[in-house]
Amino acid sequence: MALVKFNHGQDNVDNLFDNLLNDIFETPQVKRFVPSTDVFDLEGQYILELALPGVAKGQIEINIDNDRLNIKGKRSEKELQEGEKLVKQEIRKGDFERNFYLPEDAVADKIKAGYELGILTIFIPKDEKKNIKRTIQVK
C-alpha cells in the first residue's frame, strides 16, 4: 500500500506565510537590482564583467571620480499591454549602481568598455612601471 500525502490546504497557508515573512524581512537593498560582477587580474590589465541582461546599451553610464569607477544605469520595467497581468516577478528592475576602487597601477585615462549579449566588459590597463617586482638584497 502506498502512502499518499493528505492535504487540507495547509501547504497553501504555509507558503503564503513564508512569502509574507520573506517580504517583511527582505530589505529594500536586497530587492534592488544589483548586477553580478566578475573581476579578473591579468597580466597587463584588469577586466570587470557585469551581468546586465535586459539593459539597453544607452542606459549604461560609466564614470571615473579620482580613484573610483562608478557604473550606473537602469533596467526598465516591461509595460503591460491591455489584458496582460504580471503574476510573479523575480527579475529585479530599476536603477542600479556599482562602485569599484581602482588599484594604484590602473591607468584611468585608458579604460575602455564594451557591451555584448548582456555582459558589460570593462578593460582597465595596468601601468607596469608602478608594478615592478624585484628582490632587494640586504647588505
Query: Which architecture does CATH list for 35-77+92-130?
Result: Sandwich (2.60)
pLDDT digits 0-9 by tens, 17-47? 555 555 444 444 446 789 999 999 999 999 9
Residues 6+ apart with CB under 8 A from 40: 46, 47, 48, 49
- Is this structure's pTM higher than 0.95? no
What is the side-by-side strand order in the sheet with 45-51? 37-42, 45-51, 119-125, 112-116
CA–CA distance, 15 with 37 (Å, rounded to integer): 32
Band the pLDDT of 80: cuts 50, 70, 90.
Answer: confident
Q: What b/e string do you get for 15-40 counting C-beta neighbours within 10 Å, with b at 16 or more?
A: eeeeeeeeeeeeeeeeeebebeeeee
Every domain of the chain and the residues it spans? 35-77+92-130
